[in-house]
Each structure stands twice: as C-alpha cells, then as structure tokens.
Amino acid sequence: MRAALPAAAGLGVALQIALIATGLARPLLLAVSVVAVLVAVGAVWVLARRAVHAAGRERVAWTVVAVGTLLWMVGTALSLRTAIVRDIRPPPQPEALIGGTGAMLAMLCPIVGPSTSLPWRERLRMATEGGMAAAALFVPVWAFLLAPAYRHVGGVFTTVIAVAVCVQIITTAMSLVLLSRHQAHGPTAFTMLAAAFGVFGVTTVVYGAFVLTGRSNQMASVSALMTVGTFLLLAMGRYPMPADVPPWGGAATGRRAVLPYLPVLAAFPVAATQWFTGGFDGMLFATMSALFALILLRQFLVLGEVEKARAELQYQATHDHLTGLANRKLLYERAARWGRDRTPVALLLLDLDGFKQINDRFGHAVGDEVLVEVAGVLRAVIPERHTAARLGGDEFAVVLDPAPEVAEVAELGERIVAGIKACGRVGVSVGLAHEPTGRATLGMMLSNADAALYKAKAAGKGRVVLAPVALT
C-alpha cells in the first residue's frame, strides 16, 4: 500500500497534466471522471464498514468522514452528468455546493476522532503554521488568478469562485500541517485524510482557474486529480484511526517538517516579482504583512519551545528519573556554595533496611514502587527549602542548608525513620553529619555520615546515629 499511494498519485498527476496540455478528446475526460466516481463509491463502502465495526469516538469519526465522502461523491456524480449533457450554468452550481459541504464535513474527522486534546501552546503553534501556509498559498493565487479575474471579469461570479478557492487554500494549508506531524507508529487514517484534503484543495484551485479563464466549465477538467483524492480516501479505510493521541500531535521533525514552509518559499519570489512589475496591490501588501507577523509569531513560539526543552533537559540531568528527587550531580552543585556565608549545614545519609529481600522476593518492579514510596515520605517530611536526593540504589541523602540545631536535625531523622516504617514494607537507618560553620565539603560530610550510618546498622538498624564532622 505504501508503494501504491505514491505510484497512484504520480500517475494521476501525470495524466492530469497530459489531459490539460494536450487537450485530448472529451470522452477521455469523462472516462476519468467516471473512474473518480467509482473509486469514491468504493471509498464510501469501505469507510461505512469501518464505522459499523467501530465504537465510541472512533465510530463517530468514521461516520463523519463516510458521510462527507458520500456527499462529495454525489457532487462529483452530478458534475459528471452536467458535463455529459453540457448543462452550462453560472456558479454556484448545486453539485459544487453538495461536494463542498461533504468536504467540509469530512474535515471535522480529525476534531471528533481523537480522545485527547493538545495543550494550548501546541494548538497555537499549529494554528500559526496553518495560517502561515494559507497566507503564503494565497499570494500566488491572488497574483496570477484572482486579481486578474477581478480586473477582467469581476462581479458575484468571481467572488463565489474566490470564496471557494480560499476555503480550499485553508484546507490545503491544514493538510500540510497535518502531514508534517510525526506519527510514532507510522501512517494513520488521518494521514490519508490529510493527503486527500491537499489533493482536493489543489483540484479546486485548478478548477477555479479554468472557470475564471473561460477554458473549462465542467468538473471533468480536473478528473484525474479527483481520482487521486478519492483513491486516498479509499486507502484511508485500510489504516487505523488513532484514538489515544491527537492525530496532529507530535513534533514536526525530519523532512516532513518543511511542508508548511514550502508555500512560504514560493510566496516571496512571487511578491517580489509583483513589486517590480507594478502588480503589488493592497491585497498583496496585507497578505505579506500577515505572513510576516505569523512567521515572527512562529519563531517566538519556537524560542519558547527551545527554552522549555532546555529546562526539561536540565531537569533530567539533575534529578533521578525514577523518584524525581535530586541526583548526586545536583547535590554537589548545591554543596559548592557551602562556606560562603558560614551557615551551618547538616547531612542525613539514608540506607533502606530489608530492601534487598524485597527485590529478591517480589522483583525489581515492586522494588521501584518502594523507592517511589520512600521518596514520597521524604517530600512530605523535608521542608521545601532543603534538598532530598537519591544517590543510587536504595541510598538517599538529605541536605539541610542552612541547618537547624543538631537536636532538631536528629528529630527530623527520627520522623523520616517513623514515616518509612509506617509504610510497612522496609525500614531505614540514618547517619547524621552536622557542621555548624558550614566549612565542610560534601565529600567530608558524606564520609562522616557514612561512618554514622555503619554504626546505625551495627546497632540494630531503624535508628539515627550522629557523627559530628571533625575539621582539620
């Protein structure tokens, strides 16, 4: 299927170019339109079957896209009938309204399908990317299609076509943004839907160009592109509907990340050309101004994301991944300022009693639960201004800076022992080191606290033993 999709798309585009460039016989145009309708019938059947066999929000999503595809198919079939009987009427034709309604309905699928939502910053970032792509797509469409049409045709006729084209520009921009998102488990149903949206958007713009230039009045002129879009809808039924994460979630990484920016790269040369040829009017000025504003907003959001990522990396580098407590690195960083203001410091070195037996009997998963439980006790007992850390294994440390009197530190150690014992799975022995001048290094404090901890273990465990730091 992965190889068939690009092959079908390439064949459809090549056939469309051949039909337009060579002006082949009208029966061939109509034959390709019939193929588009038949593929749409298959797509409706496949999507409807997925809706019947689904449940919950997934059923709603499949139903929405199936009904939307059905309406679009009806509109395409009516367009084919109009082409056969040569019924030329001014827009908006009923078939265009029906098909457009179906496409707009199918666009609701990514909204009703996922069971989770994105943070507001992510939604704003994607909306900014979509607006940026839409503004950039509008620049060449206005310069080469709509502006000349308003000059030479004008009236309600041009406005109706312009509205339809602008709606499909938004659809195409949405498709680029959706296709740029990373999917951890590969393509999903929304990937195919987004690709179909993009094809239908391009189809509408091409059709609008033909209508405004008087070269075609029938939807059959873009029949090959319609076939590609309907084939994508047919393929959609073969992929899973994401239910656990938003289909537009995930970082825009790799080569696909540039998709929303491709129209931006094309917009600037077009605007420059119009400037030097005298075609840079008020609409282009407003669109380019909006494009610049959206680009600046996007960069601002990127800087915020970079700062957030940096803070997250910093947190991961200085905290234990299991318990969320500080790690040895952060403990040494905070100990580096000891002695500057001569404030007293204290260190409690903790080693769990009976933890090895827990691991041997129940496994490491239960052992991890015990470590997280101990971390919760430390957070509840230790004031926030002090530091609780996991040094590794079942060894923890608590640094009090500035430290209270020795008696208060010992009382805090007793509360830690009682709190961990109350959990009912392990006990703890504590070695306490106290330095009233703050001139000790962390290494000295750890050495003295470790000696005290050894005495606590030898004395029967589950107790606090004090070993004052002796400075040399």
Give the integer Cα–Cα distance in Å for 290 and 135.
Answer: 7
Q: Which of these three, 313, 340, 375, is where a domain ends? A: 313
CATH, residue 382: 3.30.70.270
**Same domain (yes/no): 121, 249:** yes
**Model confidence at 1: pLDDT above 50:** no
Contact 83, 27 (CB under 8 A): no
Query: Is residue 121, in this structure, part of any structural domain at all?
Result: yes
State residue 182's pLDDT score.
Answer: 58
How many alpha carbons lie under 13 Å from residue 168 in its C-beta half-sphere?
26
DSSP structural state of residue 349:
E
CA-based nearest residue to 252, from 351, 181, 175, 314: 181
**Same domain (yes/no): 287, 347:** no
Instruction: Tell me the torsion sign for CA atoms 398, 399, 400, 405.
Output: positive
227-266 pLDDT, tens digit each: 777 788 888 878 877 655 555 555 556 677 788 888 998 8
Give the integer Cα–Cα distance in Å for 196 and 193.
Answer: 5
Instruction: Lowest mean pLDDT of 24-33, 300-309, 364-373, 425-434, name the range.
Output: 24-33
Instruction: Lowest mean pLDDT of 41-45, 120-124, 235-239, 376-380, name the range.
Output: 120-124
**Same domain (yes/no): 347, 299:** no
Single-letter amino acid code for the residue at 464: V
Q: Which of these three, 313, 342, 357, is where a domain ends? A: 313
**Same domain (yes/no): 379, 279:** no
Query: Is residue 350, in this structure, part of any structural domain at all?
Result: yes
Write out the residue range of the structural domain in which residue 393 sits: 328-466
Range 59-83 average pLDDT: 78
pLDDT, greater one: 88 or 313: 313
Q: Where are the alpha helices (DSSP H) in 319-440?
A: 328-335, 355-362, 364-381, 406-422
**Same domain (yes/no): 347, 203:** no
**Same domain (yes/no): 161, 92:** yes
**Same domain (yes/no): 372, 238:** no
Angle CA 62–67–71, to nearest 5: 150
Contact 177, 130 (CB under 8 A): yes
State residue 95's pLDDT score.
Answer: 64
**Same domain (yes/no): 389, 438:** yes
Q: Which of these three, 313, 345, 362, is where a domain ends? A: 313
**Same domain (yes/no): 96, 240:** yes
**Same domain (yes/no): 122, 259:** yes
User: Is beta strand 427-435 parallel, antiparallel or unpaired with respect to 464-466?
Assistant: parallel
**Same domain (yes/no): 383, 308:** no
119-144 pLDDT, tens digit each: 777 778 888 888 999 999 999 999 88
Tally of domains within the chain: 2
**Same domain (yes/no): 243, 333:** no
Query: Is residue 323, in this structure, part of any structural domain at all?
Result: no
CA-based nearest residue to 397, from 386, 410, 406, 388: 388
